[in-house]
Amino acid sequence: QKEVEQNSGPLSVPEGAIASLNCTYSDRGSQSFFWYRQYSGKSPELIMSIYSNGDKEDGRFTAQLNKASQYVSLLIRDSQPSDSATYLCAVMRTSYGKLTFGQGTILTVHP
Amino acid sequence: GAGVSQSPSNKVTEKGKDVELRCDPISGHTALYWYRQSLGQGLEFLIYFQGNSAPDKSGLPSDRFSAERTGGSVSTLTIQRTQQEDSAVYLCASSSSMEAYGYTFGSGTRLTVV
């Protein structure tokens, strides 16, 4: 079992729709959770972090964490073609240290 | 500096040669990480430096790989006797140990072994 699992996609949504990206992790001791966006040929950039169960909203992005189910998700509302990228889920066991990444989900937002 | 700086941005080397990749982290960041990303793959952890502590080398794939961090700042990743399977983008990141805000990545070094 991989430490962090994501559906590789591609996930295709129409412009204006909600894109839902999911991630599960195996280490029940994980404490910090991150979503990175990676455009083709570019390095990953941090878009969301979440540490407590529940929802965290930032603009069009909402991260959701359920530690009991070992599940973290990212919702993108009003999806735009510029959101088309690979979204990487990352998990950290402590408050700082090594991040373990999932394989990433390719998101395509079509006009 | 304002961001994580990596050099060179591209490196083409012949199989069997040694290469050095450089990373200059964000000023004041005590933690520095090396990852690599092969084409179409996720990020593979290589090594992690935190302040003056012994580095976490658990991700280095073989003894051909080594890294050092001088003066708590600049880091060099060295790959000896390069092989074609070493071809990848090598990403460096840094973070502050005081806040769990994730990493800031550099733009990477694309290594091609021919």
The partner residues of A46 in beta bridges, in order of sequence, read A36
CA separation for the pair A97, B95 (Å, rounded): 9
Tens digit of pLDDT for each residue in A73-88?
999 999 999 999 999 9
In whole numbers, what is the pLDDT of chain B averaged over residues? Answer: 91
Six-digit token pair at B70?
Answer: 């001088």
Bond into B8 cis (ω within 30) = yes
Name the band, by pLDDT with cuts 50, 70 and 90, for residue B11.
very high
Identity of the amino acid at A105: T
In whole numbers, what is the pLDDT of chain A averaged over residues? Answer: 93
CA separation for the pair A2, A17 (Å, rounded): 30
Closest Cβ–Cβ partner in B41, B50, B96 for A103: B41
The pLDDT of residue B1: 54
Contact B51, B71 (CB under 8 A): no
Q: Residue written as tokens 């959701």? A: A64
Tens digit of pLDDT for each residue in B77-112?
999 999 999 999 999 999 886 555 678 999 999 999
At residue B86, φ and ψ (nearest 5 deg) are -80, -10
Q: Does A95 touch chain B (CB under 8 A)?
A: yes
Identity of the amino acid at A6: Q
Is A43 close to B45, i.e. CB distance below 8 A?
no
**Binding-face residues of A in 21-50 toward B, CB within 8 A:** 32, 34, 36, 42-46, 49
